[in-house]
Amino acid sequence: MTGGSGDTGPADHGLFGPASVTWRLMTEPVMWVAGARALYLQALHPKVMKGTWQNSAFARSGEAWGRFVRTIEFVEIRTYGTLPQVERAGRRLRRIHASLTGIDDDGRTFRLDEPELLLWVHCAEVSSLADIARRCGMGVRRDELDAFVEEQRRSAAVVGLDPAAAPGSMAELEAYYQRMKPELRACTEARRALRLSFTPRLPLPLTPLRLLVPPVNALAYASLPGWARQLYGTPGSSLTDGAVTLALRAAYEASSRIPPRLLYVPGAQSARIQMRDAA
C-alpha cells in the first residue's frame, strides 16, 4: 500500500512485512475462497450470526455487499497498511463494535465486542486461511502455518483482543475448535445467509462478479470441515474432502495465470513487489 498523509514512509511495513508468512499467504488470489469459508464458519456461532444479521440487513443486497466491501478494505489495511493506518482502522472498528448490540434467543442483549465473539471470528478467519493454504498446493509447511497463526495474534490485538488469548499455533487452534464445537449450530439466520450466498443480488458496480461469486462460494462451503457441513445439514465425507482439495489445487494453479491487476487488491500487488525485491 502506498504511503499517505501521516504515514511513516516506505520502511513501515505495518504488522507484518515481506518476510512474514502472512504476506506470502494473503497475496495469493485463492485466499478469496478462504475469506468466504471464514464467513460460513463464523456464522455457526449463534450469537455472532444473530448479532451480524441484526445489525447489517443481510437480506438487502446493497447493505450486505457494502459491509462485505468494507470488510475487504479493513483486511487490506490490517495486512498491508502502515502502523498508523492499522491503528486508525482498528480504532474505528473497535468503536463501531462497542456501539452495537444483539438479542439472543432468550431475549438477553449482548455486545458485539464480547471477547468470546471476537475470538471466534478471529479463529474462523485464521483457520480458514491456513486450511486453504495447506490444501491448495501452495507448498506451505506445518511450521510455517504455526508461524502464520502466531503472526495473526497481532491481528487479534487490532480488533481489541488480548493477543495471548488467541491461539499461537495450529495445535492450539485445533484445541480451540474442540472446545467450541458443543456451542455451535446453524441457526435460522445462518441458514438464510447460506442460501442467499448462492444466489447473490450484486449491486451494479459489482455486476462483473456475478459469474465468479457462486462458484467461489460453492468451493468455500465445500471446503468446510465435515463437522461444520453437517451442522448446516449437508453430508461431509472423506471423498468430498479429496475432491475439494483437487478443486482448490486447480483454482490455485488457474489464478496464478490471471493478470494480477484483475485479481489483487492494491495492497497485495504492492506486497508482492516488495516480497520479490526482498528475495
pLDDT band at 1 (very low <50, low <70, confident <90, very high): very low
Instruction: Average the pLDDT over each of 85-89, 216-220, 267-271 and give the range with the smallest value.
Output: 267-271
pLDDT score, position 202: 64
Single pTM value for the model: 0.87
pLDDT score, position 257: 73
- Residue 279 resides in a domain: no
Q: pLDDT by residue (tens digit) across 20-74? A: 999 999 999 999 999 999 999 999 999 999 999 998 765 555 566 677 778 889 9
- Residue 1 resides in a domain: no
pLDDT score, position 85: 96
- Residue 278 resides in a domain: no
- Residue 42 resides in a domain: yes
Q: How many residues in the chain? A: 279
Q: pLDDT by residue (tens digit) across 120-135? A: 999 999 999 999 999 9
CA distance 20 to 23: 6
User: Which among 169, 56, 159 is positioned nearest to 116, based on CA atoms?
Assistant: 159
- Residue 35 resides in a domain: yes
Q: pLDDT by residue (tens digit) across 225-263? A: 999 999 999 876 666 889 999 999 999 998 877 665 555
Q: Residue 172 belongs to what domain range?
A: 21-255
Q: List strand residue ranges (DSSP E) for the chain, in order.
A: 101-103, 109-111
- Residue 16 resides in a domain: no
- Residue 10 resides in a domain: no
In what helix (H) or strand (E) does residue 245 lie, and over which residues does it extend? Answer: helix 238-255
All 3 cell numbers of residue 126? 485464521
* pLDDT reading at 187 higher than 60: yes
Contact by Cβ (8 Å): 142, 96 = no
- Residue 184 resides in a domain: yes
pLDDT score, position 8: 46
What is the residue-averaged pLDDT of the chain?
A: 86
Domain count, the chain: 1
